[in-house]
Chain A
Amino acid sequence: SELTQDPAVSVAVGQTVTITCQGDSLRNSYASWYQKKPGQAPLFVVYGKNYRPSGIPERFSSSRSGNTASLIISGALAEDEADYYCNSRDSSTNLYVFGSGTKVTVL
């Protein structure tokens, strides 16, 4: 089971960017999303049907349609510049897989 992400996207400060993740496992399982900055541990930002852990700003949201999950950053800030990874579980094997990652540049 694989999850495919666009390698890179860019967004102007204050604009909205959508990061997509495609894979067959997403038809039966929700994705979770992680922000990764150099030298830091990944930060869990959204999971399931658009749930955010405490402390994560409301500008981070998620959606799913068919085999595609999306992370939406509404009103991007310079501090959102990072790599973003999706993850999901293959419901038939209970094994997990990370997407290939998307580098987000905030202009």
Chain B
Amino acid sequence: QVQLQESGPGQVKPSQTLSLTCSVSGGSISISGHYWSWIRHPPGKGLEWIGNIFYSGATYYQPSLESRITISLDTTKNQFSLTLSSVTAADTAVYYCARLYSGYAGDAFDIWGQGRDVTVSS
């Protein structure tokens, strides 16, 4: 059974870089047919898709964040990561990593991590 777990600092100073890692257990991150995703939930707002990475390394980013984000894979550690640069208070959110299934029947974020609460504050 595949499980995901986010890790990283819970507080980041304004203008600095937020870095989070998602550790995948119970299955390989290199399996085709799955994307690995980051999604965030700012307080009082809705869910926001941040971006995906395919097992091949291909990435797809939220246009409004594209200039500040990088999503990468580490197949040796079975992990994927998010970096978000030049953070502001608007980046305060619970950050989730998730597996995205994409197939003939449709797409779905079928497995989620527990979430990492990140606050941007000096």
The reply to whether chain A is a binding partner of chain B is yes
Contact B63 A95 (CB under 8 A): yes
Task: Return chain B residues, CB-CB under 8 Å to A99.
Answer: 46
Cα–Cα distance between A36 and B52 once the two chains are bound (Å): 21
Within the complex, the shortest CB–CB distance from A77 to chain B, in Å, comes to: 22
Contact B96 A41 (CB under 8 A): yes
| Contact indicator per residue, chain A 33-77, by CB within 8 Å of chain B (1) or not (0) | 010100001111001110101000000000000000000000000
* Interface: A29 (CB within 8 A): yes
Task: Return chain B residues, CB-CB under 8 Å to A97.
Answer: 49
Contact A47 B108 (CB under 8 A): yes
Task: Return chain A residues, CB-CB under 8 Å to B102.
Answer: 89
Contact A98 B47 (CB under 8 A): yes
Contact B115 A41 (CB under 8 A): yes
Judged by DSSP, the binding face of A is strand
Judged by DSSP, the binding face of B is strand
Task: Return chain B residues, CB-CB under 8 Å to A30.
Answer: 105-107
Q: Which of B11-54 contact A (CB under 8 A)?
A: 37, 39, 41, 46-49, 52
Within the complex, the shortest CB–CB distance from A30 to chain B, in Å, comes to: 4
Residue from B48, B52, B100, B108 in contact with A48 in the complex, judged by beta carbons closer than 8 Å = B108
Cα–Cα distance between A12 and B79 once the two chains are bound (Å): 44
| Also in contact, A41 and B112, with CB within 8 A (given A98-B46, A98-B49) | yes
Cα–Cα distance between A2 and B96 once the two chains are bound (Å): 21
The interface size of chain B toward A, counting residues with CB under 8 Å, comes to 25
Cα–Cα distance between A101 and B42 once the two chains are bound (Å): 13
* Interface: B75 (CB within 8 A): no
Closest to B48 in A: A98
Contact B107 A34 (CB under 8 A): no
Contact B114 A41 (CB under 8 A): yes
* Interface: A87 (CB within 8 A): yes
Contact B62 A51 (CB under 8 A): no
Cα–Cα distance between A47 and B102 once the two chains are bound (Å): 11
* Interface: A100 (CB within 8 A): yes
Closest to A89 in B: B107
Name B's A-contacting residues (CB within 8 A). Answer: 37, 39, 41, 46-49, 52, 60-63, 96, 100, 102, 105-110, 112-115
